[in-house]
Every structure is written in structure tokens, then in C-alpha cells.
């Protein structure tokens, strides 16, 4: 592992350092540390603690000369003071004193022209397994020579002092685009890790590379026809892109360059609520030896997951490397899309179940920001009757 001033300091403070462990080694470490249990399908079942979903109100970006005039600041993109970030970084680094840590080198973006190397420090083995699955995995020949572009310090057991540290409450996720450091504290929910890097790419790719970053899934047909599926969490991106007759490019985060579409990630993070082999066979089969399932419960007296049990959260999840899906696109790239779907969870029955729109209607809906909230999309939103809205553009899309 190549030297980096931040991770060098963390490693020097830790009592035990696990660097780039294999999938099997991470699962064994998680079991030994009582972080999880092996299911009857061979997956690791772990709980993420107090937080079973992301906390967007506690997500910040450092406001400085690089970001001040470019970021659209407000309720979504919250400012964080640069000096406070430096102080908080020192606190998080010191927090690793005497702890066992798990360090992993990985990268984002399947298109080598936009590759971004990431080094992640975790306090727990199950979180490092998530990183192994969700980011792209370097070849063994290059693993020791990677220079990280970004550092992620994930410290769930570190709690901020809001009055001193300038956070909203004890948990936080803060991105510094200038120093290329991402801090996560107070939350063991793994989705904070992946969505933080998605935020980084949402800034760097459009601003610096003229590439569109997209929250969508994508697959490709036998004739090379790419389809992309836009939608908020829980609207069906992962399910619809896992098509046995089409090769999966990715299930959640992609870029669209002047060459075509590419996956940001190396794995899938599927919702597991009510999962069954009959309804979603590819996802069911992907949750096998090595996969990670979060916040699920077993049938009594067994190690069989009851996916209908939402006693912990409705946001139960499964993370697995993309190669757990049969028939993937290798590498995770595709040409310009032929078809674009917009998926909406319609809580109010306003939309017809399926709509094919012309360019004018498409533009109008996007400008209106048409969407609605569902139980799995927003905490405490109750009694939702959801319809799935498909919007498909059949014409070939122009180049960016």
C-alpha cells in the first residue's frame, strides 16, 4: 500500500491494521468480532446500528474557493466551514488510536478515462466488506501501487459535539472537495459511504470532465442497445435492470460521456424488503456466499432470512459484487442509450401506470420535478399506495 499522509497517521495510531483483506477474510473477521451471522445462503447478515438509512440533513460540503460559487447551496447542499473541517479531521484521526481498523484501496468509474482511486478506513469488517463489493476492485498486480485520489474516514463510534463541531447532531458526513477527504461519523449505515462518493462524482464529472452523472441503473441488449432507468430509491431501478435477457451495466450510479454510459460502481445495493426468488430471481440468486445483508431478521430457530420482517427497518438491504449477477456487461460500459425510463412511486394515483411521452411532455415533467414520497423513500411517510410509472423515450438519443 502506497503512502498517504492521512492514512499513514491513522495506521500509526491503530492497534491492528487489516489492509485489503479478501472477501472471505473480511467475513471471518466480522463473525469473530460479533458483527454478524452467516445466513443459510452463505451471506453475512449484519446490523448497521442506530441508523438504518442515510441522514441527508446531516450531510455537508466544505465551502471554500473551489466550491463557493459553483455549488447550489441550500437545504440539500449544506455549507461547512473549512477551519472546522480541519479540526474535526484531527479529532477523527485521533479517534482511531488503539483501535483495530480495516483499510481498502478501490476505485470508482469503469471508464478508465475517469477512474478515481479511493482509500477507505473502516472501524468494522462488515463495512469494509461493503466497500469491497460496491467499489471497483483493482487487479492484484496494481493493488500495492495505487495512489489514492480520495480518502474516506468512516468512524461510526465517533460522535461529534454539535456546538463545537458545527454539525446538526452527533452523526455527520462531510465532504471536502479541495482536500479530497470525506468524513463519516456517528453512523454505521454503509450507504453513507457509497452516496458520499456519488456526491463527489456529481461535482467533479460535470464540472471538470463535462460528463453527466446520473442516479440510474443501466443494461444492454444483445444488439448493443443500452437502456437506462432513472428513479429515486425504491422505485425499481435494481429490479428492472436485472433482466435475464439483457446484460447488466450497473444498478444505481452511472456517467454519460461523449462515448456512452459507464458504471461508477463495482457492485449492487438492492432493497431486500419482501424479496423472493419468484419475484426477483437474479437478485435472490446474487445473495449467496460472500454477499452482505443488512438489518434483516431470521425465521425463528434458523439462519434463513425472513425478508418480510421489517421490525428493524423497511430499508433492509443486500450488497454484492456485480459478478454475482449472471450475464453482466464486462467491462461495465455501454453505448449511448436507445431507451430512457423514468420511474416514479406515485403515492396519489395521479399518473397512469405506463406513459410514453414525446420530447415536450418529457421536458415538462422533468422541469416540474415530478415525484412523490413513499415509505421507503422518506422516513415516517405513512400509508402509501404506490404505482410504478414508466416513461420511455424510444428514439435514439443524441450524443452529449
Question: Mean of the pLDDT values across residues 135-143?
Answer: 94
Distances (CA, A) of 214 to 12, 202, 222, 230, 345: 38, 8, 23, 8, 18
Active-site residue, selected from the candidate residues 167, 238, 316, 332: 238
- Would residue 195 show up in a list of annotated catalytic residues for this protein? yes
pLDDT at 364: 74
% of the chain exceeding 70 in pLDDT: 89
Pairing of strands 253-256, 261-263: antiparallel
pLDDT at 347: 67
Active-site residue, selected from the candidate residues 59, 237, 254, 271: 237
For the segment 238-286, what is each residue's pLDDT rounded down to a tens digit? 989 999 999 999 999 999 999 999 999 999 999 999 999 999 999 999 9
Q: What is the DSSP letter of 56?
A: G
The better pLDDT of the pair 350, 67 is held by: 67
Averaged confidence pLDDT in the chain: 90
Active-site residue, selected from the candidate residues 7, 52, 54, 251: 54
Nearest to 254 by CA among 337, 174, 323, 176: 337
As a residue count, the chain comes to 400
Query: By the 8 A CB rule, do 19 and 103 touch?
Result: yes
For the segment 279-307, what is each residue's pLDDT rounded down to a tens digit? 999 999 999 999 999 999 999 999 999 99
Pairing of strands 317-321, 267-271: antiparallel
In angstroms, the CA 174 to CA 182 distance is 6
* pTM check: above 0.95: no
For the segment 314-342, what is each residue's pLDDT rounded down to a tens digit? 999 999 999 999 999 999 999 999 999 98
Active-site residue, selected from the candidate residues 78, 195, 246, 324: 195
Domains of the chain: 5-35+53-209 (3.40.449.10)
The better pLDDT of the pair 223, 392 is held by: 223
- Would residue 137 show up in a list of annotated catalytic residues for this protein? no
pLDDT at 387: 30
For the segment 75-96, what is each residue's pLDDT rounded down to a tens digit? 999 999 999 999 999 999 999 9
Helix (H, G, I), strand (E, B) or coil at 177: coil
pLDDT band of residue 216 (cuts 50, 70, 90) is: very high
- Would residue 372 show up in a list of annotated catalytic residues for this protein? no
H or E, element range at 218: strand 212-220
% of the chain exceeding 90 in pLDDT: 82
pLDDT at 396: 38
For the segment 100-121, what is each residue's pLDDT rounded down to a tens digit? 999 999 999 999 999 999 999 9
Whether the per-residue pLDDT at 308 is higher than 70: the answer is: yes
- Would residue 66 show up in a list of annotated catalytic residues for this protein? no
Count CB-CB contacts under 10 A for residue 372. 19
- Would residue 237 show up in a list of annotated catalytic residues for this protein? yes
For the segment 337-396, what is each residue's pLDDT rounded down to a tens digit? 999 998 877 666 666 677 777 778 777 766 665 554 544 444 333 332 233 333 333 333
- Would residue 149 show up in a list of annotated catalytic residues for this protein? no
Query: By the 8 A CB rule, do 197 and 115 touch?
Result: no
The better pLDDT of the pair 380, 59 is held by: 59
Whether the per-residue pLDDT at 189 is higher than 50: the answer is: yes
pLDDT band of residue 398 (cuts 50, 70, 90) is: very low
- Would residue 54 show up in a list of annotated catalytic residues for this protein? yes
pLDDT at 352: 67
pLDDT at 370: 55
Active-site residue, selected from the candidate residues 252, 257, 346, 376: 252
Question: Mean of the pLDDT values across residues 172-188?
Answer: 98
In angstroms, the CA 89 to CA 76 distance is 22
Q: What is the DSSP letter of 295?
A: S
Active-site residue, selected from the candidate residues 119, 137, 271, 317: 317
pLDDT at 381: 33
pLDDT at 234: 79
The better pLDDT of the pair 400, 343 is held by: 343
Amino acid at each position: 500500500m502506497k503512502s498517504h499522509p492521512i492514512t499513514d497517521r491513522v495506521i500509526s495510531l491503530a492497534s491492528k491494521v487489516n489492509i485489503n483483506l479478501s472477501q472471505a477474510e473480511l467475513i471471518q473477521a466480522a463473525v469473530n468480532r460479533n458483527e454478524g451471522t452467516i445466513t443459510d445462503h452463505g451471506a453475512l447478515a449484519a446490523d448497521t446500528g442506530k441508523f438504518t438509512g442515510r441522514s441527508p440533513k446531516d450531510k455537508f460540503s466544505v465551502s471554500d474557493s473551489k466550491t463557493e460559487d459553483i455549488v447550489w447551496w441550500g437545504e440539500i447542499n449544506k455549507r461547512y466551514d473549512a477551519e472546522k473541517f480541519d479540526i474535526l479531521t484531527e479529532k477523527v484521526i485521533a479517534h482511531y488510536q488503539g483501535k483495530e481498523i480495516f483499510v481498502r484501496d478501490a476505485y470508482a468509474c469503469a471508464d478508465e478515462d475517469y477512474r478515481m482511486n479511493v482509500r477507505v478506513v473502516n472501524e468494522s469488517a462488515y463495512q469494509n466488506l461493503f466497500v469491497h463489493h460496491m467499489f471497483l476492485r483493482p487487479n492484484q498486480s496494481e493493488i500495492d501501487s495505487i495512489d489514492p485520489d480520495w480518502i474516506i474516514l468512516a468512524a461510526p463510534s465517533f460522535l461529534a459535539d454539535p456546538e463545537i463541531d458545527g454539525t446538526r447532531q452527533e452523526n455527520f458526513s462531510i465532504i471536502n472537495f479541495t482536500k479530497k477527504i470525506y468524513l463519516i461519523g456517528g453512523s454505521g449505515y454503509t450507504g453513507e459511504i457509497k452516496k458520499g462518493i456519488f456526491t463527489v462524482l456529481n461535482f467533479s464529472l460535470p464540472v471538470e470532465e463535462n460528463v453527466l452523472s446520473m442516479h440510474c441503473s443501466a443494461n444492454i441488449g444483445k444488439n448493443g442497445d443500452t437502456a437506462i432507468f432513472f428513479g429515486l430509491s425504491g422505485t425499481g431501478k435494481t429490479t428492472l435492470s436485472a433482466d435475464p435477457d439483457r446484460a447488466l451495466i450497473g444498478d444505481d450510479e452511472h456517467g454519460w460521456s461523449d462515448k456512452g454510459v459507464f458504471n461508477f460502481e463495482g457492485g449492487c445495493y438492492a432493497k431486500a424488503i419482501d424479496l423472493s426468488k419468484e419475484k426477483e430471481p437474479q437478485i435472490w440468486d446474487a445473495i449467496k456466499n460472500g454477499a452482505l445483508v443488512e438489518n434483516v431478521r431470521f425465521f425463528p430457530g434458523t439462519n434463513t432470512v425472513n425478508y418480510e420482517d421489517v421490525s428493524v427497518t423497511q430499508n433492509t438491504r443486500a450488497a454484492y459484487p456485480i459478478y454475482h449477477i449472471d450475464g453482466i456487461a464486462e467491462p461495465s460500459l455501454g453505448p449511448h442509450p436507445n431507451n430512457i425510463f423514468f420511474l416514479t412511486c406515485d403515492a396519489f394515483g395521479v399518473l397512469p401506470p405506463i406513459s410514453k411521452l414525446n420530447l415536450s411532455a418529457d421536458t415538462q415533467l422533468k422541469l416540474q420535478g415530478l415525484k412523490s414520497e413513499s415509505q421507503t423513500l422518506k422516513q415516517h411517510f405513512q400509508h402509501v399506495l404506490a404505482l410504478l410509472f414508466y416513461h420511455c423515450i424510444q428514439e435514439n438519443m443524441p450524443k452529449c
